[in-house]
Structure 1
Amino acid sequence: MNMKQSVIALSIALAAPISQAGEVEVLHWWTSGGEAKSIGVLKDMLEDQGHSWKDFAVAGGGGESAMTVLKTRAVSGNPPSAAQIKGHDIQEWGELGFLTDLDGVASAEKWDAMLPSVVSEVMKHDGKYVAVPVNVHRVNWLWANPEVFEKAGAAVPNSIEGFFAAAEKIKAAGLIPLAHGGQPWQDATLFEAIALDVLGSEGYNKAFVEHDLEVLGGEKMVETFEIFKRMRSYIDENSPGRDWNIATSMVINGEAAMQVMGDWAKGEFAAAGKKAGEDFICAPAFGTADQFTFNIDSFAFFKIKEGDNVTAQKNLASTILTKDFQEVFNLNKGSIPVRLDMSMSAFDSCATAAMDSFKATAESGDLVPSMAHGMSTTSYVQGAIFDVVTNYFNDDNANPNEAVDKLVRAVKSAL
């Protein structure tokens, strides 16, 4: 290199925004498949902005192990830049004073305008953004194998009554009507889909968000438990302990007709080379076509020392809500973008239908948080509900009136 070239190179180096380059450390538990691919895209997008990414991945699908590690780090005064946290856990971290204010980024990029208020409120603590939503999962989906329905001469149900009519025909044909995994969270997923139809959106919110004891102990809740127990007879004996994806494979392989599960189940169909609308059908569960139960993945942002890393942290928050990232991430995850202004041209018919419903229910008030997936209440109340629901479901002699009484007492004691 001659003198002139050296001077030019030095000038370029001095002009580069070295002071703007920072590091983000991100805690998550997306370590396999499409999830790992998706988080890799976020890493690449941030590094393209000149920052470095320190991956803090803790394996474990539900994130329990990750939360244990996070608590240790936070208490010792060394939290990551961001961590995968959702629902009421965001509020708990906010109350402890660990989360940073993202309102500067949110205001500049008009997050309030692009997000439904029911979503943005979950991301705020004391009225200020402290977390960023990554996606939206619709939980109240029914996944169906059309060949099984055709063999049984049954129609894919759009109501609870339709479910029982179809289930009888499918059972008579020697097939399993409902694929289900006997785990508390799966029991609760089925239960809340029934509750959403029976109680309606307002009653659902009163029960699982506001914890109105009259609604929790009312006649409609008794009816919900009665319907829930009736469904038990359409599930096979090998259900206890079965993982959700194994239940999905039963529908894919034609062993079972349908499954009630969130849209992460779609990834299993896609991995098996199945096409929406042809090889499988996605329909709103039971009578909930005009309602939407949501589960949102999000990152909460922690207070870190001032400097370049804070700049990188804010850039990360901004990048998560860009249209480019929202599209790539959600195509891989099976979910839909959380932004209301996204083009859905790259998505399949299930995702397009979910987005249409997401927008409509955000306007109508029928967009409700999932109890089964930690969006509507604290982990303490959720655990209390899980115990009552799953114990009732697996006890042949359980009485629905007694179950409702137990539900009221359990929720009251967990508040």
Structure 2
Amino acid sequence: MKSAQLFQRSILATAAVLAFAAHAGEVEVLHYWTSGGEAKSAAALKATLQAKGHAWKDFAVAGGGGDNAMTVLKSRVVSGNAPAAAQIKGPALQEWAAEGVLANIDDVAKAEKWDSLLPPVVANVMKYKGNYIAAPVNVHRVNWLWASNAAFKKAGAKVPTNWDEFFVAAEALKKAGIIPVAHGGQNWQDFTTFESVALGVGGADFYKKALVQLDQATLTSATMTKVLDTFKKVKTYTDKNAPGRDWNLATAMVIKGEAGMQLMGDWAKGEFVAAGKKPGADFTCAAAPGTAKSFTFNVDSFAMFKLKNEANGQAQKDLAAAIMSTDFQEVFNLNKGSIPVRLNMNLVKFDDCAKLSANDFVATAKNGGLVPSVAHGMAIGSATSGAIQDAVSQFWNDDKMSSKDAQAKIASAAKVK
């Protein structure tokens, strides 16, 4: 009798395992999270999927800030062998969706209430023709000013809140023998500084009209002239070794107190923390001058590709849900230096810079100050963005070019499609 019961239990257990296996799928995930903290985050997402019984096939492509990954992805999609998910962001999501290769994940978004958990301006980036086609991972704030407390103390200066104060502080730092502004002379760093100046001088509405809508009247306005004058003045407070310098080396100058300030996104915070520095005590994180009521966002996301296999499709949906889960949002963003994209998260484990960023993210989503970063591929197509970026860097590097000439070049670049 006992053996018959054991046999029956064995059959039931085997059937349960087989039923579970039938629903289990595999997700192949293309990403470029290959640095230490990012790799830890990818591992956390993998563990979440495996706990649901799915297999994770890692497809990590290092280098080029994602450029290499996009090259590999294009060849895979063209050959009819797309991965389940790929790390894509900004307008590129719509470009892929227009090709008809992305999956509609509205059922996941509705079940998980994404529309109420994401600011509309972010949710819209994740949609194509009103349908979700990607899951957002995090929010980087780009319009930050990082300051060395030791350098400011030595100079007897105060951390600026507007551009007039910025130049007063820069002058004081210079007189104290400190490089006022740490900068890396690379196109994207020039453009990152430029968009913070544009936002601080012109405000969020000007920024949207000029750099998102590419309105010609705004691009050729007196406000844009003032933006360019201010931008060029910032350069006079950088050092002669800036050309070609990597952003993290510029951050290291502020960490050591060799430089007073850096205009850079919140990935810079990771460098301070790795060097054992604490916000408030050793360094100050503040909104870039004049931008306290605005927020330029850079959101990483995963696009979901159409799959034929039903089990893999379910695994893909579970991946999308996991990305927006509170557990993953916390683990990933603590590692990355960014903040959760999901609103109303418990931020008890996050530092003061992250808490300030999260508060401003919520506030600007309500007041219209939440705007996409042009410099980091969130606002306009890559061809237009590249043309404007080239014009901005040309102006930064050519001391003889006037603001008016630069303005004409930028307005012309904005017409590139």
Shorter-chain TM band = over 0.9
SS in 1 for 2:65: coil
Task: Provide the C-alpha distance between the structure 1 equivalents of 2:379 and 2:9, rounded to a whole number of angstroms.
Answer: 58
Partner residue of 2:56 out of 39, 53, 58: 53
SS of residue matched to 2:59? strand
Deviations 1:280-301 (A, max 9, x none): 1100000111110100000000
Query: How many positions carry a matched residue from both structures?
Result: 414
What is the SS of the residue equivalent to 1:258? strand
Secondary structure at the aligned position of 2:58 is classed as strand
CA deviation profile, 1:274-318 (whole Å, cap 9, x unmatched) = 111111110000011111010000000001113100000000000
Question: Quick check: 1:115–1:339 contact (8 Å CA) kept in 2?
Answer: yes
- Give the one of 175, 180, 187 matched to 2:183: 180
- Residue 157 of structure 1 corresponds to which residue in structure 2? 160
Deviation by residue 1:83-137 (Cα, 9 ceiling, x = unmatched)? 0000000000011111000001111111101000000000000110000100000
Superposed CA RMSD = 1.2
Partner of 1:28: 31
Whether 1:105 and 2:112 are equivalent positions in the alignment is: no
Unaligned runs of at least 5 residues, structure 2: none
How much has 1:3 moved relative to structure 2? Answer: 6.6
| Letter of the 2:51 counterpart | D
Amino acid at match of 1:8: R
What amino acid is aligned across from residue 13 of structure 2 in structure 1? I
**2:10 aligned residue:** 9
What percentage of residue pairs aligned between the two structures are identical?
57
User: Structure 1, residues 240-279: CA drift from partner, whole Å, max 9, x if none?
Assistant: 1111111111110111111111101111011111111111
Runs of 4+ in structure 1 deviating by more than 3 angstroms, as ranges, are: 2-7
Rounded to whole Å, the distance in 1 between the matches of 2:303 and 2:157 is: 46
Shift of 1:5: 4.3
Q: Tell whether 2:321 aligns with 1:341.
A: no
Structure 2 match to 1:364: 367
Shift of residue 381, structure 1, vs aligned partner = 1.0
CA contact (8 A) 1:30 1:61 kept: no
Separation (CA, whole Å) in 2 of partners of 1:13 and 1:116 = 46
Match of 2:293 in 1: 290
Pair 1:67 & 2:70 matched: yes
Structure 2 residue corresponding to 1:381, chosen from 384, 389, 411: 384
Q: Is the 8 A contact 1:29 1:61 kept in 2?
A: no
Q: 1:60 deviation in Å?
A: 1.0
How does the TM-score come out when normalised to structure 1? 0.98
TM-score after normalising by structure 2:
0.98
CA distance in structure 1 between the aligned counterparts of 2:322 and 2:329, rounded to whole angstroms: 9
Q: Which residue of 135, 139, 142 maps to 1:136?
A: 139
Answer yes or no: is 1:39 the counterpart of 2:35: no
Partner of 2:86: helix, strand, or coil? strand
Tell me the SS of whatever aligns to 1:98: coil
Tell me the SS of whatever aligns to 2:414: helix
Deviation at 1:20, TM superposition (A): 1.1
Cα separation, 2, equivalents of 1:100 and 1:207: 33
1: CA distance between counterparts of 2:289 and 2:109?
A: 37
Alignment-derived partner of residue 169 in structure 2: 166
Structure 1 position 43, deviation (Å):
0.5
Distance 2:320 2:285 in 1: 32
Look up the SS of the partner of 1:234 in the other structure.
coil
